[in-house]
Chains A and B, each alone.
Chain A
Amino acid sequence: MNTRSICAQPLFAVGTAIVFLLMIVFLLADFVGSGLGEVQLNYRVYGEAMLNGYAPYTVTNGLSWEYPPLAFVFMLVPALFSTEPSLYQLYYCLMIAMFAVLGLWLIIKTAQVLGYNQKIAAILYLVLTAMMTRFVFDRYDFFPAVMTLAAFYLLITDRRTAALTVLAVATLTKVYPSIFILVFLTPALAKHDWRQAGRGLAVYLGACVLICLPFLALAGGDFMEFVTYHTGRLIQLESTAAGALMLLGAGGLTDVWTVSSSGSFNIAGPLADALNGVILPITAAAVVAVSLLTIVQYRRREMTAVDLLMPMCCILLTFIVFNKVFSAQYLIWIIPLAALVLAGPHSARPGRLTATTALVAAFAISACLFLIYDGLCYQNPLCVLLLVFRNLLLIGLFICTVRSIYCDQTQPPTAHTFG
């Protein structure tokens, strides 16, 4: 099926209409609620600053240049048309909607290549996107999520150089896609084809360096602000660790309180402060461990590139559940990968329905937590319980993906399931 035939599909046409409908609903709700979000308050300010000739990381305006360099491109583009807050918001939302449509197209194409159910994949993609509408249109996480999907699509269609280049672009838009680099090199590493692996790594790192060079030349050492800003953050309120610590706090087992810093609500206290010092190395170690196990399994089970989808899901869940920050928009990263995994050729297999229910429940809780965030900040026991339940659902999904990849030695993962 070529591009034209996909675009002509009713599924794609309806999906595109739904995306734009979601955009209109978001804009109307935003207008009625008159609540200014990230786009108007922050992204617009960056866009306006760049429009006035100030390069990222070179100046200060009371805001931190906390994002990777290519993120600012997406903040600049709407500003080229207007810096008036409402119009900027509109152009930004149009940009997101176009990426969402691109994502839908990629989902259908990828499902087709994998032999998965395109309809289920597209529907899941749209349902999960709709559940996170508030964050999809008011954050920039959808850009790297779609880019990561594009990189995966290029990988499974045997265009490795392009795949690694797109992954580099995604990495410098939002750092998280970098966790997939070992997975992308897995086909070569598993075969001990060091030359191909080295070439792939060189392409990825080379693209990263090429993109960073102009920013580095302009900003010097301040260029690393987008890294140092995040390493200095406290444990974020919605993270797995925060949920557990707040639960302990509610039981009187530790002293934990909420603070506002680094543009988010976080927790502090004796145990939280001690954990904060080690949580980043733990996250990195967990991601590397899962990546290495993927390489081992890949070789042992004679997997192919298409079988890397489940490991990617697993690594992403590892990164999210072990991380010290788990902002609601992180769930956006999961959308394309989860939609594809759950649309696999094993829809009748045990575990699939449970996994889908758990994922939808986690999304629903995240959307709800946003509405009752005050209660979470005040560590209301019911809100804490809701958060912990959401995090347990994701931990459950993480365990399922690990089991799915590593426990069954007899079947290839594409014929395997959650649970």
Chain B
Amino acid sequence: MKERPVCAILAATTVILIASASLFCLCGGLGNQVGQNDLAGEWLLASGSYYDDEGTLSDVCNDAVESPLGTLVVTINDDCTFTAETAGQTVTGAVEDGEIATHFTLSERNFTVLGRLFDTSTLYLAVAAAGAEGPTAAELTYTRDGGLPTFRDYYQSLTGSWSTDTVWNTDGITSGPLAAVITKQTSGIFYGSVTTSDGTSVLCGALSMLECAPLRSGLAIDGNGNTWAVMIKNNQFIFADPVSGREAELTEFPDVTQVYVQQDLTGYSWSGTETSMTVTWTHGQSFSGTVTIGDDTGVLYGCICPAAEGLALMTVTAADGTVAWGIFTFGSSATDSCYLFLFNDNGTATTAISLTEAAV
């Protein structure tokens, strides 16, 4: 076979394939960046499962009235708000940069929802619920057509014993210990127990997906009704109690020395209209402080993921005792900028606030 025609065919095929794939991707918007314009419409439950307080694993189905949420139909509206209807009750909230958080009460059970739109066709929700029946936690995956997504999350194993001798509060004062034993895990939901100074109780948790692979965040609820914000990093399982402000970094290997190479954020503050945040202490890659929104002041806790943008989960405890959940992200250099995404507990108002850094 002559070489030149073969080379020409190879080169032409390469050029055509590269051009076709590039054009399709560039024009088709196949990226995983979540835009706000093409999310509107009803989202269908693709899969869902939960652990109850006895560690029984069950599926959440569209027609399963016994599931913790009953039938939860999620709709994202044109104005970037979302509506979730369940058992005749409508829960509303907003989508900001792909993040969703809300809190509602249904059939005398308190629900906390933390979610993420992974892309324009995949929505992950982590749900924790507390009530007389005991704690339960669910993970729900929604897609536009109800089919399983091509791009799915991958969760590291959490089963085993996690512990720490140090539990921080918002003033940086330590107490402890705190330990968790995870006995069961199915993808993003887990079941086990947590031991605090109040004793040992059941723990159910769920994670929602994040784009940065080494970091996951979600919710866990214990038998005493405490809802914990949780984060998973490579070697750390971070627990934070929004009400008391307790924060603990659990590890499977307590003897392993942690090396902290991240910037000390102590003293940093951010400010915006009627909103300010101040970091009061930094411990390793975790930090805590206060956030003030209007007349309400609450605790802030978070961690910096070395391989991705910093991220914090935060809560603001309102005057009436209710808790607002929020997610706060900032630039890769940790101090360039700060965006606060706030989700009110009654689901009626949410906001995304760009904050600027103040001098240390």
Contacts and interface: CB of A to CB of B under 8 A. Distances in A.
B257 interface: yes
Given A364-B14, A365-B14, A389-B13, A61 B154 contact: no
A64 to B, nearest CB: 6
A59 B17 contact: no
Interface residues of B, number: 49
A50 to B, nearest CB: 9
B257 A361 contact: no
A382 B21 contact: yes
Contacts of B260: 61
B3 interface: yes
Contacts of A353: 3-4, 7
A397 B6 CA distance: 14
Chain A interface residue number, banded: 35 or more
B285 A62 contact: yes
A292 interface: no
A372 B22 contact: yes
B22 A368 contact: yes
B17 A385 contact: yes
A211 to B, nearest CB: 23
A52 B3 CA distance: 58
Interface string B224-258: 00000000011110000000000000000100111
A82 interface: no
A48 B261 contact: yes
Interface in B43-65: none
B21 A60 contact: no
Contacts, number: 146
Contacts of B26: 372
A121 to B, nearest CB: 20
A382 B17 CA distance: 7
B3 A374 contact: no
Contact of A351 (B3, B22, B211, B333): B3
B20 A382 contact: yes
Contacts of B307: 41-42, 62-63, 263
Contacts of B6: 354, 357
Nearest to B31: A374
Nearest to B11: A357
A221 to B, nearest CB: 12
A379 interface: yes
A257 B150 contact: yes
Contact of A260 (B4, B28, B213): B213
A14 B199 CA distance: 72
Interface string A35-54: 01000011001001100101
A380 B25 contact: yes
A36 B332 contact: yes
Interface in A254-273: 257-263, 266, 268
Nearest to B258: A60
A328 B4 CA distance: 28
B306 A61 contact: yes
Interface of A: 36, 41-42, 45, 48-49, 52, 54, 58-64, 85, 234, 257-263, 266, 268, 350-354, 357-358, 361, 364-365, 368, 371-372, 374-375, 377-380, 382-383, 385-386, 389, 393
Given A61-B260, A266-B154, A378-B151, 13 more contacts: A257-B152, A258-B152, A259-B151, A259-B154, A353-B3, A357-B10, A365-B18, A368-B18, A372-B22, A378-B119, A382-B17, A383-B25, A386-B17
5 A-B pairs with least C-beta separation? A259-B154, A375-B25, A361-B14, A59-B259, A382-B21
